[in-house]
Amino acid sequence: MKTFLSFILKEARHILRDRRTMLILFGMPIVLMLLFGFAITNDVRNVRTVVVTSRMSPQIQASVERLSASEYFTIVATVATPQEAERLIRDQKADIALIPQHTHSQSLPMRVGSGCQWQIMVDGSDPNMAQQWSTYAQAILRDSGSSSALPLKEGAASFDGRIPSSTQMHSSPSLIGNSGGGSIKLLYNPQMRSAYNFVPAIMGMLLMLICAMMTSISIVREKERGTMEVLLVSPVRPLMVIVAKAIPYLVLAFAILVVILLMGHYVLDVPLAGSLVWIVIVSVIYILLALSLGLLISNIAQTQLVALLLSAMVLLMPVVMLSGMLFPIESMPQVLQWIAAFIPPRYYIQAMRKLMIMGVGIHEVLNEVIILSAMTAVLLTIALATFKVRLE
């Protein structure tokens, strides 16, 4: 046991002496948390808005003032005609235009006692943001009247969730009114803050990359230098040598997990609604899975460059693209959904979103825990089997 502990201390000292490694291990989580929390965000803020004022009324003026008073929209100009508003959007001087419509016709989506509806013209070059801008504008304009807007009638000339291209952004207008009833209630994230989505995703990405990539490179480095043979002929069994090299990264991963949780909660105001104990337990299972994957990569790779490339191809791109971190898996083609079913971070991110944001119990994430545990067992078995064959 004393020899085993000495191996652990040796590896820990080696990691701590390498300032570049320590900078990556603790600098990357902080930088990514700040970037995804404040810079790379899909939150709706300060949308440049132009209002057509050719048909102003006290009710319309009140709606515009309510829109301007919100943190989501900034009135950058008022124009006399829709054509001028469209020109500002095409010139990239505005993102969205609001055009008041006056009608008493029953053929339009809604009747509005005073005859007030809104046409929304939006820059659709970024479809996701265009949909969010339209949704936010509709919600504010609905609430700006004496009562909320009625739901739009099916089949009417209304916003149906399909965002037109930038060259057709005025062909399918959105019409909403200021009277009627109905409301929308958002659970768990009423302010629709993107940090609630990104923090669990960053946890899944960082823990996987750090544990798997750093572990594989550490073992391959010993093979490159020719010191692995010296370690394997020591009194400690080969398996214990590998475990001793993995334990420091297990401790570092746990420290990084703590840093991410503290930053997410106290800097980005992301709630920890669920049990902290279960968050840690599920994270430990995921860390063991990542360490097993790192060991498997180290068995395949003979140089640090190969280990780095394998880690990047096997981990980085699938984690970012197919884990649900940035894009919903349900919207992907069926083939990619099948591939995503084998991506471990997918299940960890799902579990963390449920535990942290929704505050559910462990029974609600039992499916994810079982899948992660099974993947850990399979990867660890394969890694140990290939490692023993290589030693022989």
Name the residue range of residue 114's domain. Answer: 47-177
Confidence of residue 55 (pLDDT cuts 50, 70, 90): low
Given a cut of 90, whether residue 370 has pLDDT beyond it is: yes
Place of tokens 């958002």: 186
Domain boundary among 143, 177, 211: 177
Residue 286's pLDDT is 93
pLDDT given at position 156: 27
Q: For the residues 119-144, what does the mean pLDDT come to?
A: 79
Domain count, the chain: 2
Query: Are residues 76 and 56 both part of a single domain?
Result: yes
What would the 3-class secondary structure string for the chain be?
Answer: CHHHHHHHHHHHHHHHHCHHHHHHHHHHHHHHHHHHHHHCCCCCCCEEEEEECCCCCHHHHHHHHHHHHCCCEEEEEEECCHHHHHHHHHCCCCCEEEEEEECCCCCCCCCCCCCEEEEEEECCCCHHHHHHHHHHHHHHHHHCCCCCCCCCCCCCCCCCCCCCCCCCCCCCCEEEECCCCCCCCCCCCCCCCCHHHHHHHHHHHHHHHHHHHHHHHHHHHHHHHCCHHHHHCCCCCHHHHHHHHHHHHHHHHHHHHHHHHHHHHHCCCCCCCCCHHHHHHHHHHHHHHHHHHHHHHHHHCCCHHHHHHHHHHHHHHHHHHHCCCCCCHHHCCHHHHHHHCCCHHHHHHHHHHHHHHHCCCHHHHHHHHHHHHHHHHHHHHHHHHHHHHHHC
Q: Are residues 27 and 53 in the same domain?
A: no
Predicted confidence band of residue 75 (pLDDT cuts 50, 70, 90): confident
Please state which of the ranges 23-37, 79-93, 351-365 shows the lowest mean pLDDT.
23-37
Residues 216 and 161 in one domain: no
pLDDT at 93 over 80: yes
269 is a domain residue: yes
Give the domain CATH number at 78.
3.40.190
pLDDT in tens, 201-260: 888 888 888 788 877 777 787 777 777 666 666 666 767 777 777 888 888 888 888 888
Last residue of a domain, one of 117, 150, 177: 177
Kindly state whether residues 36 and 52 are assigned to the same domain. Answer: no
Q: Is residue 187 part of a domain?
A: no
Residue 12 inside a domain? The answer is yes
Considering the domain architecture, whether residues 7 and 89 belong to the same structural domain is answered as no
pTM score? 0.71
Q: Kindly state whether residues 230 and 364 are assigned to the same domain.
A: yes
pLDDT at 273: 85
Q: Is 186 domain-assigned?
A: no
Domain assignment present for 226: yes
Bigger pLDDT: 284 vs 180: 284
Lowest-pLDDT choice from 69-73, 144-148, 165-169, 251-255: 165-169
- For the cut 70, the answer to whether the pLDDT of residue 151 exceeds it is no
Of 20-24, 91-95, 164-168, the range with the lowest mean pLDDT is 164-168
Are 95 and 110 part of one and the same domain? yes
Say what the pLDDT of residue 190 is.
Answer: 67
| Residue that the structure tokens 């299972």 belong to | 285
HSE-CB at 116 with a 13 A cutoff on CA atoms is 23
Instruction: Clarify whether residues 211 and 352 are in a common domain.
Output: yes
Cα–Cα distance measured from residue 49 to residue 62, given in angstroms and rounded to the nearest whole number: 16
Assigned domain for 188 exists: no
Q: Assess if residue 183 is contained within a domain.
A: no
Query: CB count, 10 Å around CB of 301?
Result: 21
204, 171: one domain? no
pLDDT digits (tens, 9 = 90+) for 19-41: 777 777 778 788 877 777 676 66
Instruction: Place 171 in a pLDDT band, splitting at 50, 70 and 90.
Output: very low
pLDDT at 351: 92
Same domain, 11 and 59: no
152 with 110: CB under 8 angstroms? yes
Position 155 pLDDT exceeds 70:
no
| Whether residue 275 is found in the same domain as residue 353 | yes
Q: What is the pLDDT of residue 388?
A: 54
pLDDT at residue 144, as a whole number: 58
Q: Which long-range contacts (CB under 8 A, 24 or more apart) does 218-221 make?
A: 218/11, 218/15, 218/245, 218/249, 218/298, 219/245, 219/294, 219/295, 219/298, 220/298, 220/301, 220/302, 220/303, 220/304, 220/306, 220/307, 221/304
In a domain, 7, yes or no: yes
Are 209 and 240 contained in the same domain? Answer: yes
pLDDT of residue 154: 29
Mean pLDDT over the full length of the chain: 75
Domain termination residue (choose one: 142, 177, 212): 177
